[in-house]
Structure 1
Amino acid sequence: MRLIPIPVDVEIGKIQLDIDIKEGKSPFIVVYCQGEAKITYLPEHGETKVITHQGKVKRVMFDEGEEF
């Protein structure tokens, strides 16, 4: 699974996230909805779509490709 859960402290309203951005990983996104947060790294070639329904995150879709 590509979406990795990250801890959320709802009482103080903060996401506890410690990521070393110098390690050379590709870009990433953090998606938050209704007290739950998840992180995912973006593909080198492709699209990532966040699908919502009635104001809530329904799914995250990945469409990857590779140049010939």
Structure 2
Amino acid sequence: MRLKDIPFEKGKLNVDIEKGEKPFVVVYCQGEAKLTYLPEHGETKVITHQGRVKRIKFDEGEEF
């Protein structure tokens, strides 16, 4: 699975960032935070339902 849980304490998220690291997004919903890296070529969609995150879809491609 691509999503990684992010531990947090006292209302603060802790994400280690290194220079040159791939682009990523952090998604937070109802006390749960997850991190995922973005594909080199493609789309990442966050799907919501009734104000909550339902799923994250990846649509990847490669230039010809």
Fold match by TM threshold 0.5: yes
Provide structure 2 residue ranges, at least 5 long, that are not aligned to the other structure.
Answer: none
TM-score of the pair, normalised by structure 2: 0.92
Identity of aligned residues (%): 75
TM-score of the pair, normalised by structure 1: 0.87
Per the alignment, residue 44 of structure 2 pairs with 48
Per the alignment, residue 5 of structure 1 pairs with 5
Deviations 1:32-61 (A, max 9, x none): 001110101100100000000011000000
Per the alignment, residue 16 of structure 2 pairs with 18
The alignment's C-alpha RMSD in Å is: 0.9
Provide structure 1 residue ranges, at least 5 long, that are not aligned to the other structure.
Answer: none
Query: Which has a greater percent of helix?
Result: 1
Which stretches of structure 1, 4 residues or longer, exceed 4 Å deviation after superposition?
Answer: none
